Amino acid sequence: MSTQEQIPPILRPDHVAPVSLSAFAERFGLTAPQREVEVTGISMNTGDLRAGDLFVAMPGKKTHGAKFIAKAIELGAIAVVTDAAGVAEVGSMDVPVLIQENPRAHLGEMAAYVYGNVPGNMPLLFATTGTNGKTSTSYLLEGILRQLGETTGLTSTAERHIAGEVIVSRLTTPESPEMQALIARMREKGVTAVAVEVSAQALSQLRVDGLHFDVVGFTNLSHDHLDDYADMDEYLAAKLPLFSTQRAKRGVVCLDTKYGREVVRKSEIPVVTITSEMGVDADWHVAITAETPKYTSFVLAGPDGINIRSRIPILGAHMAANAGLAIAMLVEAGFDAARIAKAIAGGIDAYLPGRTERVTGESGPDVYVDFGHSPDAFLNTLAAVRKVTPGRVFMVFGADGDRDASKRPAMAKVAAEGCDVLVVTDHHPRFEDPASIRKTLVENALAARPELEIYEVSPPEAAIRKAVALAQPGDAILWAGPGHQDYRDIRGVRTPYSARAEARSALKESGWS
């Protein structure tokens, strides 16, 4: 099955109030169209184009979108927005054409206008960015919102949620026409509050343009994505636009990494701070009260004597820090702290797919499947697993192919230093040689701990079975990397695959429930 066949469809509202092309042109300061048509959608991709769409043809890395205008018209596009270069490439067209230089810079706002996502007509919007914890914070935020009686939406690396409907995600943050269509569908379904996970790439590529968030949150910054950004300073700079007046009203910043203070210093919007570190000066403080394989309890202390006790159905102090960030964001949005405290007194009701997800039955070693694929994620999750494991800690992991290779040595070092038995395997090799990736990981793990018990096992189906065969009750296995994903990317093909299912099968085959 091809990658394209595996990608979930783009979601749009069932009904869109038609927008006249002349009104659209006036809104964006463009020359009036040659003739009037009514637009009911907007697309930059012929693979998703629908009859009645406005097709936006933009210059790309390899080719100009104008090459696809004829195909777009054939599929039902009733008008085109492109730049002068696009017009020159195509010449005359059978539909009205609006000329907009640098159309990508206006794409989000154009999509928002077409789908009616305008001020006064929007649900509460929350956005979270950072290296790790974006997805977890978004899920916890949505869970609390539901407990507060809101009808919720969510868009994350793992899933899209629309008033209870769950759909597998395409990208962490979709392109702006898809994002605006998704928000419009949420509005149509009565959603009152939306949690959005925003990656650095999404900000760099203008995918959240046209949205203005009520509250934004920053989790942390650590070594990742240095294949996209030259260094950590450039990576941080890519996230800072979320804290601009153009994109948000207020913010909450976690100070658990040194970059938090830089976000505070450079933020254009009012922000409050939060930490889970002792001795750090912040507006909010998270303290852990209990950690077990099934839940983590915490207390959150805030301004004006706020004291909120709750727990999350997942392992890890870093996850409690994410919950604290979510709560602080809700308070900043205007929710009463006492009301929040009452709603979550018995715990936050949220399922976090593939985030330190325990897939163990009633017997055998504990097995956790986690999406973390950076050195910092390994460090936090291994520490959390170690705290609740009386026996040995096993680590199973691989590294992404055709992605930031500079983090692989650090991933191997942290894994080796944090576990008792290491099993190195494959993840998404993409077009890289998986044996070469494994070799780098094994060499760096051995350099960090020459005495460590290390196995190199491929494919990952065999790797998890090796770990389960070696483990005993009281031991724990952390399988890091695949998390919620239901495929492996092998030479451009999304091969169906579930780490959760493989782990459960491995346990069953070894005689554990």
Task: Give the pLDDT confidence score for residue 486 in this predicted structure.
Answer: 87
Which residues of the chain does CATH 3.90.190.20 include? 357-509
Predicted local confidence at residue 170, as pLDDT: 63
Work out the average pLDDT over 23-42.
96
The proportion of the chain whose per-residue pLDDT surpasses 70, expressed as a percent, equals 97
Per-residue pLDDT tens digits for 64-123: 999 999 999 999 999 999 999 999 988 888 999 999 999 999 999 999 999 999 999 999
Expressed in percent and rounded to 5, the helix, strand and coil fractions of the chain are 35, 25, 40
Q: How confident is the model at residue 172 (pLDDT cuts 50, 70, 90)?
A: low
Q: What is the DSSP letter of 502?
A: H
17-115 is classed CATH 3.30.1280.10: no
Confidence of residue 6 (pLDDT cuts 50, 70, 90): very low
Least confident of 2-16, 126-140, 341-355: 2-16
* CB contact burial 136-169 (16+ within 10 A = b; e otherwise): bbbbbbbbbbbbbebbbbbbbbbbbbbeeeeeeb
Question: Which residue, 70, 89, 73, 4, is CA-closest to 37?
Answer: 73
CATH number for the segment(s) 124-343:
3.40.1190.10
The pLDDT value given to residue 34: 87
> What whole-number distance in Å separates Cα of residue 306 and Cα of residue 181?
38
What is the pLDDT, as a whole number, of residue 2? 35
Helix, coil or strand: residue 500: helix
**How many Å apart are CA 367 and CA 503, to the nearest integer?**
7
β-partners of residue 368 are: 358, 478
- Whether the per-residue pLDDT at 392 is higher than 50: the answer is yes
> For 165-187, what is the mean pLDDT?
87
- Give the residue range(s) of CATH 3.40.1190.10 domains in the chain: 124-343
Q: Which has more pLDDT, 430 or 170?
A: 430
Predicted pLDDT at 369: 96
**With contact defined as beta carbons under 8 Å apart, do 312 and 321 qualify?**
no
From the list 319, 261, 260, 332, the residue with the least C-alpha distance to 286 is: 319
Residue 10 has a pLDDT of 80
Mean pLDDT to the nearest integer, 27-43: 96
Residue 142 has pLDDT above 60, yes or no: yes
Checking if the pLDDT of 4 tops 70, the result is: no
pLDDT category, 228, cuts 50, 70, 90?
Answer: confident
Q: Is the dihedral of CA 333, 320, 132, 60 positive or negative?
A: negative
Q: What pLDDT is stored for residue 225 in this prediction?
A: 66
Q: Residues of the chain with pLDDT > 90: what percent? A: 87
> Considering only CA atoms, which of 300, 345, 295, 290 is closest in space to residue 327?
300
Q: What mean pLDDT do residues 492-507 have? A: 94
Q: Tell me where in the chain the CATH 3.40.1390.10 domain(s) lie.
A: 17-115
Tell me if 219 sits within 8 A of 149, measured CB to CB. no
Please indicate whether residue 174 or residue 67 has the higher confidence score (pLDDT).
67
Per DSSP, 45 falls in state -
**232 or 141, which is more confident?**
141
Q: Is the pLDDT of residue 7 over 90?
A: no
Q: How far is CA 274 from the centre of its chain?
A: 21
Instruction: Tell me the per-residue pLDDT of 305-354, one tens digit each, with 9 for 90 and over.
Output: 999 999 999 999 999 999 999 999 999 999 999 999 999 999 999 999 88
CATH 3.90.190.20 fits 357-509, yes or no: yes
Distances (CA, A) of 444 to 209, 364, 397, 414, 480: 41, 31, 13, 10, 17
Res 1: pLDDT: 32
Confidence check: pLDDT of 61 > 90: no
For residue 255, the one-letter residue type is L
Residue 358 has pLDDT above 60, yes or no: yes
Residue range 259-264: average pLDDT? Answer: 97
Please state, in angstroms and rounded to a whole number, the distance separating the CA atoms of residues 316 and 380. Answer: 8
pLDDT of res. 3:
37
pLDDT in tens, 438-474: 999 999 999 999 999 999 999 999 999 999 999 999 9
What pLDDT digit, counting tens, does each position of 146-165 carry? 999 999 999 998 899 999 99
Tell me what the pLDDT averaged over the chain comes to. Answer: 94
- The stretch 9-30 carries a mean pLDDT of 94
- Rounded mean pLDDT of 388-412? 96
Mean pLDDT of 258-266: 97
Q: How would you classify the pairing of strands 476-480 and 307-312?
A: unpaired
Q: In the prediction, which pLDDT does 484 show?
A: 87
Structure tokens at 258: 């040194």
Does the N-terminal peptide bond of residue 459 adopt cis geometry, omega within 30 degrees of 0? yes
